[in-house]
Amino acid sequence: MQCPLTRSVLAIRVMICTVRCVVAALAMFGALAPARADDCERIAVWREGRAIGSVCRGEAAERELTVIDLSDGWVPPVLAPGDDGGPRYRASYLALAQERFADAGADAELAPVDRYFELFGIAPSLGVVRARLADAARHRCHAELDDAPLVAAPERIVEESGAQAAARIARARVLRAELEYDRARRKLPDLEALAAIDAYERRAVDRLTALESYLAAVRTIQAHLACDGLFSSPPVDQAYTWQTSAAVQRFQRGAMILPTGIVDRTTRDTLALGSRERDLRTVLRVLRERVIAATGLIEDGSAGAGPGTVLGRALDSEAIWRVSGHAPLDVDPRPS
């Protein structure tokens, strides 16, 4: 289905309105006649999420409308079919965008491992995102998780060996048993009461709290990753080993975060967003790409005051667009 919108508005405005109906089309202004029976190819016109009529494709330019392609067969202009059939990679691009990995040619082997391709310039088709949004079981899986451990998690969680993870889990188990024994021996109600006795017990209880907070955060991360089916190998419970690190990299690629496998603040916050919110941000990124392609907008950031938000949402992590080695483009390089 096609989507007309005014040429005079920026992509961000387009996406704000389009998000209310991503499966049809949008027009920002202009009274248009209702659909009528004729031989032209009619395109639905939407304003603020509501259908207001239709227009012939050939009349779109006269009405200062730009046609936005929302079909699953969309490709960037550089891959558009031509007289010679177009670039050969077009078929692979469509297969990856539509998650038909077996049809992705030379990319078919690694596609299921990488899973998400936005960082490589291949956004999912709207049909794929629509299916994600409609996956009630997946959303319910995420919603049933308690994200409190993510809030209390360490600033960074990095991959460790199986031996290191096992030692950490064992330390927590042994320390918990020792402190519980001491608490029971002293007939105290809880470990906080034990910690109040002296500095030694305080330090021991704090060590246990740190260990168990880490393990709880890893377990919560693993649960979210499992809801999305991101494990290629079964994880070790509460152990941030390569199995979980690899799944985190897949999650990061799907959320437009640099795939380091390190759970930092950005990754933690994105995990806690909720699956529907993450899917909505994917929709906005897909729409942004198609608006840019249709209108010829330049993405180098030189036309504005820097990165902005869409519907109050930052669609890309800072590491994606931040360039090192020179001052930002919007900073006057002349000395004051």
Please state the domain extents for the chain. 148-271
Helices (H), the chain: 11-18, 89-97, 111-114, 126-133, 136-143, 148-151, 162-185, 191-195, 199-227, 242-254, 265-271, 275-295, 318-321
Token reading at 236: 């070790």
Contact of 6 with 64, CB cutoff 8 Å: yes
Residue 246 pLDDT class (50, 70, 90 cuts): very high
Contact of 32 with 55, CB cutoff 8 Å: yes
Q: Please tell me the distance from the alpha carbon of residue 70 to that of residue 2, in angstroms, as a whole number.
A: 6
Beta pairing partners, 313: 310
Please state, as a whole number, how many other Cβ atoms lie within 10 Å of the Cβ of residue 276: 15
Average pLDDT for residues 258-283, to the nearest whole number?
Answer: 95
pLDDT-above-90 percentage for the chain:
60
User: Which range is most confident: 73-82, 139-148, 319-328?
Assistant: 139-148
Q: Please tell me the distance from the alpha carbon of residue 94 to that of residue 104, in angstroms, as a whole number.
A: 8
pLDDT of residue 260: 95
pLDDT of residue 38: 52
- Supply φ then ψ for residue 39, to 5 degrees: -95, -5
Residue 21 pLDDT class (50, 70, 90 cuts): very low
pTM of the model: 0.80
pLDDT of residue 31: 38
Q: Indicate left, alpha or beta for 323 from its phi (over 0: left) and psi (-120 to 50: alpha).
A: beta
Nearest to 65 by CA among 22, 8, 137: 8
**CA 255, 260, 266: angle at the middle one, nearest 5?**
50
pLDDT of residue 140: 97
Residue 302 pLDDT class (50, 70, 90 cuts): low
Average pLDDT for residues 1-9, to the nearest whole number?
Answer: 40
pLDDT of residue 90: 92
Average pLDDT for residues 298-321, to the nearest whole number?
Answer: 71
234, pLDDT greater than 90: yes
Which residues make Cβ contacts (< 8 Å) with residue 309, sequence separation at least 6? 315
Please state, as a whole number, how many other Cβ atoms lie within 10 Å of the Cβ of residue 315: 19
pLDDT of residue 323: 65
Average pLDDT for residues 228-247, to the nearest whole number?
Answer: 97
User: Which range is most confident: 20-24, 50-54, 284-288?
Assistant: 284-288
Residue 128 pLDDT class (50, 70, 90 cuts): very high
250, pLDDT greater than 50: yes
| Selected residue with higher pLDDT from 36 and 20 | 36
Contact of 83 with 89, CB cutoff 8 Å: no
